[in-house]
Amino acid sequence: MQDIWTRLTALTRPRLLIRAARIGAEEYRRTPQLRRLLGMQVPGTGAALLQLLEIEQELDQSRRHGDAAYSVQRHVEVLIALVAEARLYRAGLCTALIHS
């Protein structure tokens, strides 16, 4: 199994989706957005990333197969959370390395 950071850096998505996610991540509000996307208590950053990666993978498969139920809006919402959580995760790793 790959670690979280390897999985994140291996993602390749259309530029427009990624650009929208990066812009949206600037306005990310963690608690309400994760509750809406994950439907439960807000998990730690690592756990949230794993769940978001699973959801995003399913959405991307729907997009690639031209599924009529595919929602660009939901895909961008998940990517926004993924980008923002990845930033939090990376900041936490950097802080942990500095303090060790």
pLDDT tens by residue, the chain, 100 residues: 457 777 877 788 999 999 999 999 999 999 999 999 998 788 888 889 999 999 999 999 999 999 999 999 999 999 999 999 999 888 875 454 444 4
CA of residue 31 relative to chain centroid, distance:
14
Rg (CA), the chain: 14
Q: Which residues, other chains included, contact 90 with Cβ-Cβ below 8 Å and sequence gap of 6+?
A: 5
Domain count, the chain: 1
Per the structure, the complete domain to which residue 77 belongs is given by 4-99
24 vs 62: CA distance, rounded Å? 22
Q: What torsion do the CA atoms of 23, 26, 27, 28 make, to the nearest 10 degrees?
A: 100
Question: Two tokens at 24?
Answer: 């949206």
